[in-house]
Amino acid sequence: MTNHPSPFDSNGRRYGPSTQAVHAGEDRVKFGFSMTDPIFCAATYTFANTQALIDYVQQKQPREEYGRYGNPSEKVVERKLAALEGGTAALLYSTGMAAVAGFLLAKLQAGDEIVLFDECYHRTRELCTKHLAKFGVITHQVPACDYERMEAAINPRTRLLISESPTNPHLSVVDLERFAALGKKYGVETLIDATLATPYNVRPLEYGVDYVLHSCTKYLGGHNDLLAGAIVSTEEKLEPVRKLRGVLGIINAPHNMYLLLRGLKTFELRMQRHNENGQAVAEFLSRHPRIEKVYYPGLPSHPHYEVARRTMRGFGGLVTFQVKDADWRATAAVVDALRIPRIGPSLGGVESLVEQPIFMSYHDFTPEQRQAVGIYDNMIRLSCGIENPEDLTADLAQALDHSAAGQ
C-alpha cells in the first residue's frame, strides 16, 4: 500500500505544516475505507504461502513480519514525522530516552568520543557519562553554544556532536548553521534534540544537521497522555539504528501510536497557541516588578534572540524565570498560588505545568552543583499549555501579588 500522498502539491510546492500534520504519511484509501487509521494489535503477521514468505525475505514485498520489527500504525506515524521534519525517514521509540539510547548504541563503539553541549537533557548526559562510559565511550561536555570549545574538543576519535535546542530550562538556542558546519568540517555526524522547538518552530535538517531527535511525549503528542520518542534523518543513515531497534525491542505500543497520530492532527494549531502563550507570558513577566530575570528566546534581552529570530518561527511554550529577592520558600509561594498550571514535570502538553527546577530535575544536586549549572532557588519553569493567554497572565499576576502579600 503506497497510496499515501506526496508532501508536495501539483506545482511542486511543499504543503504547509498543518496540511502535513493532518494528511502526510497516511494512505488516501485505508483499510475498510475507514477515515481514520486502524490500530493493529498484531504481535505477528502471516504469509499466504511459502512463496509469499520467500518474496518478503527477498525484500520484494513491503509488509510486516513480527511486531518487534514494525507495525503499520508505527509506519504511518514515522512517515508523518519525517514529512513534518523535512527528512526522508523516521524511527519511533517507546520514549524519548529510548530513542537516545537506541541511537547512541547503534552509532558508537569502545574508543569513540562524543562532544555534548552541557545544557543537554540531564538524562542524556547521564546516559553518556555514566553508562556509555562503561563500554569505553568517552564524553566531553562543553558550555552550551560555545562553538570554539566544542571545536577544541573534537579529535580523530570523535563520532558525534550532540546538543539540545532550545535547551531546558535555560532556553539557549544553538546556531544550527555553525553547529552543522563544525560537524561537516571534521567529518563528524551531528544530532539535535529539538524536543522544545518541534518541526513547527525549527527544522534542523535544513541547516545540515544529520539527525533530529524528539521526545514525542511533549509537543508532538501534546496531551500529557503518552510517552514516545523519534529520530528523523534519511533511510540510509537510519538503517543501522533501525536494525538495532529491532534487536533491543524498545518500540512503542499500537494504541500509543494511535494516540500520537491523533495528537499530531492538531499539531500546528497547538504550536501556534503555545508560541502565543509563551511570548505573552514572557513579555508579561519581563515587565513585572517582582521578576528578576526571564529566560525566553523571543525576548530581545535573551542572549540568543538574534539567532532565534533568524532560525525559529516561534519560541515555544516554555518560560523560565527568577523571582526577585526570593528564597526557595517565597518562590514556592508563587508556584502554590497559581490556579491554572498544575505542579509537575514534563512540558508541551495542552495543560500548563509549573515546577521549581531545584525540586524537580535537580533535587539530587548539591547547592554548589546547582549554582554551577545555573539552577537557582528562585527559579520557576512554566510550560504554557494552550489555555487563553489573558488567563495565564492574569493567573501569574494574582499569584505574584497574593504571594507577596503573604510574605
Ligand X SMILES: *Cc1c(COP(=O)(O)O)cnc(C)c1O
Smallest gap from Cβ 355 to ligand X, in A, equals: 13
Which of the following is catalytic: 37, 112, 175, 193? 193
Cell of 284: 508579561
**Number of alpha helices (DSSP H) and beta strands (DSSP E) in the chain:** 15, 12
* 395 flagged as catalytic: no
Which of the following is catalytic: 93, 121, 200, 296? 121
Residue closer to ligand X (CB basis): 92 or 154 = 92
Report yes or no: 257 and 73 within 8 Å, Cβ to Cβ.
yes
Question: Which residues would be at the binding site for ligand X (CB under 6 A)?
Answer: 95-97, 121, 164, 168, 193, 195-196, 215, 217-218, 227, 229
Smallest gap from Cβ 47 to ligand X, in A, equals: 35
Smallest gap from Cβ 232 to ligand X, in A, equals: 14
* 193 flagged as catalytic: yes
Residue closer to ligand X (CB basis): 82 or 212 = 212
Name the helix (H) or strand (E) containing 237: helix 235-248
Report yes or no: 104 and 120 within 8 Å, Cβ to Cβ.
no
* 218 flagged as catalytic: yes
Residue closer to ligand X (CB basis): 326 or 350 = 350
Smallest gap from Cβ 32 to ligand X, in A, equals: 32
Residue 348 zone, left/alpha/beta (φ > 0; ψ -120 to 50; rest) = left
C-alpha torsion 80→84→88→89, nearest 10: -50
Smallest gap from Cβ 94 to ligand X, in A, equals: 8
Which of the following is catalytic: 15, 30, 45, 68? 68
Measured from each CB, the residue nearest to ligand X is: 96
* 68 flagged as catalytic: yes
Residue closer to ligand X (CB basis): 87 or 96 = 96
Which of the following is catalytic: 75, 125, 218, 290? 218
Q: What are phi and psi of 92, to 5 degrees?
A: -100, 145
What residue has cell string 504571594? Answer: 403
Q: Tell me how far apart the alpha carbons of residues 303 and 376 are, in angstroms, rounded to a whole number.
A: 19
Q: Write down how long the chain is.
A: 407
DSSP string for 51-103: HHHHHHHTT-S----BTTT--HHHHHHHHHHHHHHT-SEEEEESSHHHHHHHH
Residue closer to ligand X (CB basis): 117 or 284 = 117
The residues annotated with a catalytic role in the active site are: 68, 121, 193, 218
